[in-house]
Structure 1
Amino acid sequence: MGFFTRAFAVGTTIVLALIAKQCYDMFKPLPLPNIDYLDQNWGPGDKNLYKDDTTIKPFKIVYPAETIEKLRTKLDDVPALAKPMEGISFEYGFNSNNLMDVLKYWRSSYLDKWSEREKYLNQFPHFKTKIQGLDIHFIHVKPQVPKKTKVIPLLLLHGWPGSVREFYDIIPMLTSTSDDKQFVFEVIVPSLPGYGWSQGPSKTGMGPAAMAVLMKNLMKRIGHEKFFVQGGDWGSAIADRLATFFQDDVYGVHMNMCAMQNALSFVKSTIASYAPSMFIDEKYIDFYSSFTDTFKYLIHETGYMHIQATKPDTIGTTLMGNPIGLAAYILEKFSTWTNPAYRSLPDGGLQKYFTLDSLLDNIMVYYLTDSITTSQRLYLEAFRAQEMGLAIDRMETKVPAACAKFKHELMQTIDWALRDHFVNLLQSNHYEDGGHFAAMQLPRLLYKDIVDFVSKVPLA
C-alpha cells in the first residue's frame, strides 16, 4: 500500500470518526436539567413585595346580566361579511354564511338560556389559589365512593383553543365507579395560566416547562405528591415535561397528541417512510403522513401558529372584545382539526360531534375572561430559544407512558421514535375516528384508553 493510499485511508477514518462523533452527540440522550424556577414568581412586580396566599378558595362562574346584554348587542351589530366564493365551503377559512347561522343561534337561543349554561358550567366544584404569584383556577371533583375503593389523583390538561370545558363529559365517567375499572379517579382540571379564569403571567418565559412546574406545585398544594397526568395539545407538552422533570412523582403520563421533534425522530421517521410496514402495523400506516402531505399541511394549517408565536398581542388585540371574530377564529379549528375533510363541508362539520351549546361554552370562556391574548402568548414562549434549548425530547423518562392516536390528530409520531424519549411506553393505541379535541369529541373512547393504561401501571 502506497503512502498516498495509507494517508487517504487514515484521513477517511478520521473523517468518519468525526462524523460518527457528531452523530452521537446529536442523538445521544441528554441529562435531566436542573429546574431553577421552582420559586419563580410570575405575577406583577417584585416577588419580595408579597408572598403566595396558600389558601384554596371556592369559585363560581357568575356574570351580571349587563355583561350578557352587552355581548348580545355586539352580536346584533354584524359587519357586512364577505360572501363565500362560489363552490367554496371552509377552504378559505370560516364560511361566512355558516357564521351568520352560528351568530344568530348565539345571540338568541344560547344567550336566552345563559342562566342554564352558567349553571351547567358550575356543575363541578371550582376553586382558585395563588401559585407562584398567579391566581390559578381549577375544577376539583372528589368521587363519592366506598372507603375500600382505590382513589387515584388525575390531572387533566387542556390546550389551545380549548379550555376546561373540553373535559365536562369525561369527568363524570372518571369520577364514578364502574365495572370496567377497580379504581376511581379524583380529578383536577386547571385552566392553564393565561387561559380562562387563571391569571396570565406578567413576566416573559412561561413556556410548557415553567407551566409543568406550576402544575406540580398546584398538585402539591391540593395535597397530592404523586399523581397521573393526561393531556392533549399544549396539555400533552406540559404533561410530558411533568413526567420528565418529576419522574418520582408522576405515576404515569397519558397523551392524545404525542410528538417528537428531535433529529433522531426525524431520521427514524424518514427511514420508516421508505419501508413503513417494517415499523408500523399495516392497518395504521395511513395514520402517518408522507413528507409531501406534511408539507402541504404546514402550508395550509399553521399560519395561526406563526402569528401567535411571533406577534400574539397583535392578533389578540383584533379578537379581544370582538365576539364575531373570536367565534370564527376558534370554531374554524374545531372544524378542521376534528377532520381536515370537513373543509369541504358548508357547515364545517361542526355539529357532527359537537353541539353548538358546547362550542359556544368554550367561546364564552375566552370572551368573558378576556383571555385570548394571554392564551396565545404561550406560543411565543414555547418557541423561545431558552425553551427549545431544553431539548426535552432527547431526555429519557422512565415514567409509564401511553399514547392514544386518533386518526385525524394534527401530528403523529411512530412508536419507534417515541420510545427514545418514553422508554417505558406501555400503551399505544390507534383509533380510526377522532381528531384533536378527543376529550370533547369522543369522551367514552378516551376514557376507556385512560382506564386501560392506568390498569397496567403498578402503584407503589
Structure 2
Amino acid sequence: MWQEILPNAWECILSHIRSFEYSQKNAVLAPVAALGFGGMLVYWMRSRQKIKTIEMGDGWWGSGERALKGKEDESIRPFKIETSDKEIEDLHRRLEQARTTAPHLEGAAFHYGFNSSYLQKVVAYWRNQFDWCKQVEVLNKYAHFQTTIEGIDIHFIHVKPSYVPHGRAVQPLLMVHGWPGSFYEFYKITPLLTEPARHSLNEGDVVFEVICPSIPGYGFSEAPHQKGFDTIATARIFHKLMNRLGFKEYYLQGGDWGSRITTNMAQMLPQSVKGLHLNLVFISRQGLRRMISVMLGAYVPWLVGLTREDVQRTYPFIQKNIYELLRESGYLHIQATKPDTAGCGLNDSPVGLAACILEKFSTWTDKSFLHKDDGGLESKYSLDELLTNVMIYWVTSSIVSSMQFYKENISKDPGLTADARVGVYVPTWIAAFPQELVHTPRVWAKDIFKNIITYSYMPRGGHFAAFEEPKLLAQDIMHFVRKVEQL
C-alpha cells in the first residue's frame, strides 16, 4: 500500500512546488509550500500508523486437554445463587467452635491487623443475627448468568434499564472488581447507572446497561485448571463475553485488579472500547524521568507537571509511597509466592477468612481507620454488606484461587509482560480517590494512557469506590461517557 501512496503523495507535493517555481510572483512561497505539504504528509503518515496492541490469541483453562472436549457450549445460561440448611449449619458450627483469639494489645486498634476484640463482635453478629438466606435474595435481585469460555464457566450479572427515555441510546458498561471484593461491590452503583433519573442524578441523559462478571477463580466463576491465568487472559475472556452478549463497542470501568484487566482490554482491542474509566492506575515502569519528577516535585512541582493536589497526596514521598505501602502490602508478597499455603487455613476457617478480608475493607477505605478499635468498618458499610462479600468467598471456596491470581500476575518480570510496552489510546478518564493506597498523578499516568480526557480529584473515598461512594463514582462515569459521546 505504501508503495502506491508515497509516490503519488510526493508527486502531488512536487507538482505544487513546480507551479510556484514557474510563477515569479509566488517564487518565494515555493519552499514554504514544500515544507507545509511535507509536514502534512508526515502528520498523515503518523496518524495512519497502526497502534501497537496486545495480541488477542486464545487459551484453554479447563481440566484436561482441549482437543478431547469437543466444541465448547457457547450458550448463556440463567444462574441463581442458592443455599441450604446444611451449608448454614456447617458455617454456624465452625463459628461456634472457633478458637478464641488472643487478647489484643492495649491501644493497638488495627495497627497489628484485625482487632481481636472487635472480631469477636463480628463473629457473634455473624452467628446470631446475619441472615444468609435473606442476603441470597438480595444477591438474586439482579439477573445472573453463566457461560463457558475457554473451558471454564464465567459468572456475571447483566442489568438492563427498565425505562429508556425516547431518543437516548443505552450504553453497555462492563465493570470489573478486584481482591478481596466481588461483583457484589457494584450492587449500590448499578441502579444509579441503569435508572439515573429515578435516583435524582443530573446526568440522566446517559443510561447504561451494566455487566459485572466475576473474575475466574473468584466467587461463582470457575477457577482456571491450568497455570498461567493472568489479567491478559482475563481481558480476552471478558472481550469474548461482551461479544457473545452481542456488543461490538462498550465502555469499561475498573479498580484494583479490575483496573489492570480493563486496561489490558483497551490494549488488546481498542476498536471495541469506546472509553475506559479507572479509579486506580497501575504504572509499573520506573525510569530516570520519574525519579527526577519525584525529587523535584516536592520543591518545584510546576516544573514537572504536578498540581497542588498531587503534592498533598504524594508527599512526604517516603512515608506515603514506601512505608504506608509496605504496611499494607504484606499479603501481596505471600499471595504472589505461596498462595496455596496461606489460603488453606482461610478456606477452612470462616473467622480467619473474615479477619483477612475485612481488615482490607478497613485501612483500604481510609488510612486513618488504623487508629480505631473497630477499624472504622461500620462508618462506610453495614456488617450485612461486609459479611455478604465474605460469604461469597466462603460458600464458593474461592479464596485460594483468588489468591493464586497474584502469583500468576506478579511472579514475572513486569518489563517482560505482553502489556509492558503497549500504550492505551482509547479515551480514558481517571478518578483519583484521596484515600487510595497510592496516588498516580496525571503527568505520570500519561506515560501509559495517551488519551486522558479528564482526571478527577475525587473529594472523598478510598479503594472500594463503587462500594463506598456509589453516587460520586456514578456521576463521574456519567460525565465521562457524556463527554466521549459528544466528542
- Using the size of structure 2 for normalisation, the TM-score is 0.85
The correspondence for 1:143, drawn from 122, 136, 161, is: 161
Amino acid at match of 1:97: S
Structure 1 residue 388 displacement after superposition? 4.8
Displacement of 1:421:
1.4
Distance, in Å, in 2 between the alignment partners of 1:195 and 1:183 is: 30
CA positional deviation for 1:404: 0.5
Total equivalences in the alignment = 428
In the alignment, residue 68 of structure 2 is paired with which amino acid? L
Q: Secondary structure at the match of 1:186?
A: strand
Contact 2:229 2:405 in 1 (8 A): yes
Q: Match for residue 116 of structure 1?
A: 134
Q: 1:167 to 1:72 in 2, by over 3 A?
A: same
1:48 equivalent to 2:48? Answer no
Distance 2:273 2:54 in 1: 18
In the alignment, what sits opposite 2:282? 259
**Of 62, 69, 77, the match for 2:89:** 69
For the residues of structure 1 that align with 2:112 and 2:256, how far apart are their CA atoms?
Answer: 24
Q: Distance in 2 between matches of 1:387 and 1:284?
A: 25
Give the aligned partner of residue 426 of structure 1: 453
Q: 1:152 aligned to 2:171?
A: yes
Q: Which residues in structure 2 correspond to 1:44-443 (within 5 Å)?
A: 44-50=63-69, 51-110=71-130, 113-146=131-164, 148-178=167-197, 179-264=202-287, 266-267=290-291, 268-278=293-303, 279-293=305-319, 294-385=321-412, 388-390=415-417, 392=419, 394-443=421-470
Cα RMSD, aligned residues only: 1.8
Residue segments in structure 1 that go unaligned for 5+ positions in a row: 1-29
Tell me, yes or no, if the aligned pair for 2:54 and 2:422 is still in contact at 8 Å.
no
Q: Distance in 2 between matches of 1:337 and 1:298?
A: 11
Larger displacement relative to structure 2 (95-104 or 383-392): 383-392
Residues 1:249 and 1:441: Cα distance change in structure 2 (over 3 Å): same
Of structures 1 and 2, the larger Rg is shown by 2
Q: Spell out, residue by residue over 1:399-455, the C-alpha distance to the aligned partner (whole angstroms, 9 max, x if none).
A: 000111111101121111111211110011112311100100000000011001111
Post-superposition Cα deviations, 1:299-328, rounded to whole Å, max 9, x if no partner, equal 311110000000011111111131000000
- Please tell me whether the aligned partners of residues 262 and 391 of structure 1 are also in contact (alpha carbons under 8 angstroms): no
Partners of 2:397 and 2:454 in 1: how far apart?
Answer: 39
Q: Give how far 1:385 is off.
A: 2.5
SS in 1 for 2:270: coil
Structure 2 SS opposite 1:63: coil
**Which secondary structure does the structure 1 equivalent of 2:175 belong to?**
strand
* Equivalent pair of 2:423/2:448 in contact (CA under 8 Å): yes
Distance 1:151 1:95 in 2: 46
**Aligned-pair distance for 1:276?**
2.4
What amino acid is the match of 1:173?
A: L
Instruction: Say whether the 8 Å CA contact 2:62–2:225 is kept in structure 1.
Output: yes
Letter in 2 for 1:96: S
Q: 8 Å contact 2:155–2:213 — kept in the other structure?
A: yes
Task: State, as a whole percentage, how many aligned pairs show the same letter.
Answer: 40
The 2-side partners of 1:283 and 1:387 are apart by 29
Q: Name the residue aligned to 2:485.
A: 458
Task: Report the 3-state secondary structure (helix = DSSP H, G, I; strand = E; otherwise coil) of the residue aligned with 1:404.
Answer: strand
Residue 148 (structure 1) shift: 2.9
**Partner Cα separation in structure 2 for residue 358 and residue 183 of structure 1:** 28
